[in-house]
Amino acid sequence: MNFDLTEDQSAIRDMALAFAQERLAPHALEWDEKKHFPVDTLRAAAALGMGGIYIREDVGGSGLTRFDAALIFEALSTGCPAVASYISIHNMCAWMIDAFASDEQRRKWLPSLTSMDKLASYCLTEPGAGSDAAALRTRAVREGDHYVLSGQKQFISGAGNPHDFYVVMARTGEDGPKGVSTIVVPGGTPGLSFGANEKKMGWNAQPTRAVIFDKCRVPVENRIGPEGVGFKIAMAGLDGGRLNIAACSLGGAQAALDKAVAYMSERKAFGKRLDEFQALQFKLADMAIDLEAARTFLWRAASALDAKSPDATRLCAMAKKFTTDKGFDVANAALQLHGGYGYLSDYGIEKIVRDLRVHQILEGTNEIMRLIVARGLVGR
């Protein structure tokens, strides 16, 4: 495997880095404090092709690879992991439509998604169905040429805008994964409502709400694929989503490490700069090694997904678990190296720590990542 980036890949990464530093980083602390969802900034990212990174070009997508996406999300997260992570979720929803919907559905929905004129939310998790996603209870009952949806989704990123829409996994048949279908529910549909914006440890620059369906009528033509394949579609989306979230952890942690190196070159203790103490130099070295190992692992998994390798799902789970764990550990170590100043919001380190913590939970907890890997090992 060649680890040298091509000229195009370097240009893509540099474009995303410039956007992160110019449009995200200067506002990240304010957005976090005010719980502001920067929709205009999201649309500015979409104007650069980041609203449909690996969506086909005939509907406005950029037609890039999962490897390219990993470069983009790492770069964006150096500015704000919370905003970058929402762009990842939006891209995951758009890809599910691009990959599994009819051509008519693609042309109807995707142009407004790739431009981010409309924002998408991924609706799988429920109050009683998190890691055991196949136990979801939201039901879609067919009545003529409509489905009537009843139930509730929980922890839905980006939810609440009546002009957006929701890619919903709902039960149309038997219990278990084979009874689930994927249905697109436009914002503003009667019977669709939202809970309050959740008060969270991090990710405050994007809203998180319950999405509630109370006899919500949606045309059958909004179903993606045939009945009963929705769980398969949802899991396929998560392979790429896990890589993106891993990349967001990597970018956030790299920003934290960079802040720590800069701080230690200026701060003095016992008559020496902090970066002159060998013990602290070794700590920085370990952090850099962990991030480089995580980056290499992430690139390996992204290449496998691009190649449609049979072990892609396992590698995506491995990379997600390893990278999100290492990313959080490095950010937390960077906070420690700042001493008491790391605990203050002014330096931006504590925000990165808070934002990265949830990456070990969402897109499948890291315990579930271990389960995926273990099942592959023991043949279950």
For 101, 111, 187, 327, the CA distances from 216, given in Å and listed in that order, are 21, 25, 11, 40
Choose, from 30, 350, 363, 367, the residue flagged as catalytic: 363
CA neighbor of 291 nearest in space, from 280, 299, 303: 299
Question: CA 244, 91, 199: angle at the middle one, nearest 5?
Answer: 75
CA separation for the pair 227, 13 (Å, rounded): 39
Catalytic (active site) residue 350: no
- Per residue, the 3-state secondary structure of 146-186, as one string, reads EEEEEEEEEEEECCCCCCCEEEEEEECCCCCHHHEEEEEEE
- Per residue, the 3-state secondary structure of 232-300, as one string, reads HHHHHHHHHHHHHHHHHHHHHHHHHHHHHHHHHCCCEECCEEHHHCHHHHHHHHHHHHHHHHHHHHHHH
Just list the catalytic residues. 363
